[in-house]
């Protein structure tokens, strides 16, 4: 039975860091929404925030198909995206049922003020410019949408682990390994 390990949460909570870590430690292939968007930016260019949103709409079906491709071959897969919306849960359950996969949700969370500061820092230092995260209107929009509230994990037919990344040094990596095994 393949495992679909999905890592979700608001921006700048460490989803990509955790997904890369798990890929390195376990050898399980990772599919990243941001990596797909950035590959499209590199091929097609980038312009403004609306362009970034449109690229996201192009990347999402590809992300889904890549996750499904791994599962169709009986392979475990790590899927990394925000997974904030109710339709995400529906898709995850449908995919798990179709491919007889076990669902493992790793939900990343952090103090919203810490996430906001990380978001601003990465936008200015190590984020692909195609995301257009450095613009003040984007920072303001993300602050009101993501950094002024707490999002909770999806109620799924599977296992859930919530990881608070407010202090990256406090993460229990052994617990994460036990959770996915």
The per-residue pLDDT for 140 is 84
The per-residue pLDDT for 103 is 98
Crossing angle for the helix pair 86-98 and 49-72, to the nearest 10 degrees: 20
Contact status, residue 11 vs residue 82, Cβ threshold 8 Å: yes
- In the beta sheet, which residues pair with residue 104? 5, 159
The per-residue pLDDT for 113 is 92
User: What pTM was computed for the model?
Assistant: 0.93
The per-residue pLDDT for 153 is 96
The per-residue pLDDT for 175 is 96
The per-residue pLDDT for 124 is 85
Contact status, residue 92 vs residue 155, Cβ threshold 8 Å: no
The per-residue pLDDT for 49 is 85
Give one DSSP letter per residue of the chain, joined into a string.
--EEEEEE-STTSSHHHHHHHHHHHH---EEEHHHHHHHHHHHH---SHHHHHHHHHHHHHHHHHHHHHHHHTT--EEEES---SHHHHHHHHHHHHHTTPEEEEEEEE--HHHHHHHHHHHHHHTS-GGG-TTSHHHHHHHHHHHTTS-------SSEEEEEE-SSGGG--HHHHHHHH-
Residue 112: CATH number of its domain: 3.40.50.300
135: region left, alpha or beta (phi > 0 left; psi from -120 to 50 alpha): beta
The per-residue pLDDT for 142 is 84
The per-residue pLDDT for 133 is 77
Domain count, the chain: 1
Buried b (16+ CB within 10 A) or exposed e, 34-53: bbbbbbbbeeeebeeeeebe
Show pLDDT as tens, one digit a residue, over the chain (181 residues): 999 999 999 999 999 999 999 999 999 999 999 999 999 999 999 988 889 999 999 999 999 999 999 999 999 999 999 999 999 999 999 999 999 999 999 999 999 999 999 999 988 888 888 888 777 777 888 888 888 888 899 999 999 999 999 999 999 999 999 999 8
Expressed as residue numbers, the domain containing 160 is 3-180
The per-residue pLDDT for 137 is 76
């Amino acid at each position: 039975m393949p495992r679909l390990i999905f890592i979700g949460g608001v921006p700048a909570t460490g989803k990509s860091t955790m997904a890369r870590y798990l890929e390195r430690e376990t050898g399980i292939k990772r599919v990243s929404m941001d990596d797909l968007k950035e590959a499209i930016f590199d091929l097609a260019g980038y312009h403004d925030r609306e362009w970034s949103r449109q690229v996201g709409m192009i990347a999402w079906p590809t992300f889904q198909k890549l996750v499904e491709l791994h599962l169709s071959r009986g392979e475990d897969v790590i899927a990394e995206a925000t997974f904030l919306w109710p339709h995400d849960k529906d898709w995850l359950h449908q995919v798990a049922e179709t491919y007889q996969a076990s669902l493992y949700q790793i939900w990343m969370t952090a103090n919203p003020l810490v996430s906001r500061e990380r978001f601003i820092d990465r936008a200015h230092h190590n984020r692909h410019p195609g995301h257009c995260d450095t613009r003040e209107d984007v920072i303001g929009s993300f602050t009101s949408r993501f950094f002024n509230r707490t999002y909770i994990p999806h109620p799924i037919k599977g296992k859930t682990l919530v990881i608070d990344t407010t202090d990256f040094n406090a993460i229990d990596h052994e617990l994460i390994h036990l959770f996915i095994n």
